[in-house]
Amino acid sequence: MFADLSIHFTKASMSKPRKSIHGEWSSRFTFILAATGSAIGLGNIWKFPYIAGENGGGAFVFVFLICVLVLGLPLIIAEVAIGRYGRQNPINSISNIVEENKSHPMWAVTGWLCLLSGFIIFSFYSVISGWVFSYGLQMGLGTFQNISPDDSIKIFNQFLSQPWTLLFWHSLFSLLTLLVVAKGVQTGIEKAVEILMPVLLILILTLLAYALSTGKFMEGLRFMFDFDFSKLTGESILIAMGQAFFTLSLASGAMMIYGSYLPRGISIPKACFMIAAADTAIAILAGLAIFPIVFAHGLEPASGPGLIFQTLPVAFGNMFGGQVFGALFFMLLLLAAFTSAISMIEATVAWLVENHDMTRNKASLLGGLGAWLLGLGTLLSFNLWSGKTLFGKNFFENIDYLVTNIMMPLGGILIALFASWVMSKHSILNELGIKEGPGFWVWRVSAGLIAPVLVLLVFFHSIEFF
């Protein structure tokens, strides 16, 4: 059965470097922009600042940075290296390497885990991003002016109870994403991120400047950066490891497919370091922009959708200029969601083009339609299907749990082991652009031994037995 997963080589094709049929990034800068856009998502904006504040502030940030260097960076390097060597979608790239190295065909499961993770994430990411789209419009129209906390909760619950409204926003977000993906690497994805990422940074800096005027900037700064080692527990360290893993879009196929478009001559370790640094910096800036606004209105910071859709509308609705800056905030969220969504569906589109001889337009339509249909389950989980559960969870909670707690950690472990021990030493050295020496062995030990153990700890920490 697994023989069907592999792409067969000829001697001629193995003797010369492969090229992606989808094209390449025009420069290292565009790759970094695209990959950073993939890594920066909704979780960066609300989750990282909150968990930092709740788990020791600066002490947690310090541990998180160590986890990024020891866990996140080696894994993103591994994933991009596999992608550039294979030059195809995650399934084909890994299958190619498996056949070339005469490794066990079961390793092909790694590619399937990555591609399916991205596909499933896109399905529910589109639904939640649709909420952001709607709230940005409502904020701009003044819906939340002088709103109370109770009214904010009622508006949000009423919004979720309307499946046709959610369907419109889910469909609109999916369509816009697929229009970009359908145009290809350079004329679609690259052009989009070259515009969207600078705008995203401008929005964050604008909101940061506004936060400085609230009088609560130092309180927000202390919330995130005071070194409170009493709050730093074993649980906090596991949370830091999990955040370091998930924040970089690892094991979702995104970095591998983006790596397949990376031109030769560009240093993978240097580019990946810049991606990790930019992703972390954006998350910190977002927290510094958000929490002074929350504290200025005596509101409690809450993790998850509650902060975005219930707490912050109250803050923006009761401050001078809140209508404008609230709309800018939701625009920021939307851009972060958009750049991530593009990367999540790209691997599926590439697989359809490469394996089923489809045009990019047709592949985008078919892949997007499949994800859109799967997203209907998430959409209905908050209204018509809210009472339908399996293992005590609704549809959305089950697929989110499956991807986040099982598929991605397992995929991450397999990627680390695959790049470190299955790919030939010559191949991985060539992709990393280094010679065998201390630098290579530091990476190989980090990616091949330390990272799998750490991801396994995250896996057991997050797993719930039904």
Extract the tokens encoding 143: 């819906």
Question: What is the residue-wise DSSP string for 12-57?
Answer: HHHHS----TT---SSHHHHHHHHHHHH--HHHHHHHHHHHHHTTB
The answer on pLDDT for 346 being more than 70 is: yes
Q: Which helix (H) or strand (E) holds 89?
A: none
The CB-side HSE value for 126 (13 A sphere, CA atoms) comes to: 33
Predicted pLDDT of residue 19: 85
Q: Which of 66-70, 77-81, 288-292 has the lowest mean pLDDT?
A: 288-292
Residue with tokens 């515009």: 195
pTM of the predicted protein model: 0.93
**Higher-scoring residue by pLDDT: 50, 91:** 91
The answer on pLDDT for 8 being more than 90 is: no
How far apart CA 336 and CA 401 sit, in angstroms, is: 22
Binned at pLDDT 50, 70 and 90, residue 302 comes out as low
The answer on pLDDT for 375 being more than 90 is: yes
The answer on pLDDT for 1 being more than 80 is: no
Which residues have a Cβ under 8 Å from the Cβ of 447 and sit 6 or more positions away? 74, 75, 77, 78, 416, 419, 420
Largest CA distance in the chain: 70
Average pLDDT over residues 306-314: 86
How far apart CA 89 and CA 115 sit, in angstroms, is: 8
DSSP H helix total and E strand total for the chain: 23, 0
Question: What is the residue-wise DSSP string for 246-263?
Answer: HTTTTTSSHHHHHHTTPP
pLDDT, one tens digit per residue, over 197-206 is 999 999 999 9
The CB-side HSE value for 460 (13 A sphere, CA atoms) comes to: 5
pLDDT, one tens digit per residue, over 378-401 is 999 999 999 998 888 999 999 999
**Higher-scoring residue by pLDDT: 214, 359:** 359
Beta carbons of 364 and 175 less than 8 angstroms apart: no
How far apart CA 75 and CA 451 sit, in angstroms, is: 7
Q: What percent of the chain has pLDDT over 90?
A: 72
Predicted pLDDT of residue 466: 40
Predicted pLDDT of residue 305: 67
Binned at pLDDT 50, 70 and 90, residue 10 comes out as very low
Cβ count near 406 (within 10 Å): 15
Predicted pLDDT of residue 464: 60
Average pLDDT over residues 8-17: 41
Q: Which of 3-7, 160-164, 444-448 has the lowest mean pLDDT?
A: 3-7
Average pLDDT over residues 169-180: 98
Beta carbons of 212 and 288 less than 8 angstroms apart: no
**Higher-scoring residue by pLDDT: 51, 423:** 423
Cβ count near 315 (within 10 Å): 26
Q: Between the CA of residue 291 and those of 19, 285, 296, what are the distances in Å?
A: 46, 10, 8
Sign of CA dihedral 173, 175, 178, 183: negative
* Average pLDDT for the chain: 90
Residue with tokens 């989980």: 381
pLDDT, one tens digit per residue, over 100-117 is 988 899 999 999 999 999
Binned at pLDDT 50, 70 and 90, residue 4 comes out as very low
pLDDT, one tens digit per residue, over 30-60 is 999 999 999 998 878 878 888 888 888 889 9
How far apart CA 340 and CA 33 sit, in angstroms, is: 11
Extract the tokens encoding 407: 């598929």
Predicted pLDDT of residue 5: 37
pLDDT, one tens digit per residue, over 223-250 is 888 888 888 888 889 989 988 888 899 9
The answer on pLDDT for 307 being more than 90 is: no
pLDDT, one tens digit per residue, over 118-137 is 999 999 999 999 999 999 99
Predicted pLDDT of residue 304: 63
Q: Exposure pattern of 218-253 as b/e (b: 16+ CB <10 Å)? A: eebbebbbeeeeebbeeebbbbbbbbbbbbbbbbbb
How far apart CA 86 and CA 106 sit, in angstroms, is: 17
The answer on pLDDT for 3 being more than 60 is: no
How far apart CA 324 and CA 327 sit, in angstroms, is: 5
How far apart CA 260 and CA 100 sit, in angstroms, is: 17
Strand partners, 227: 57
Predicted pLDDT of residue 320: 86
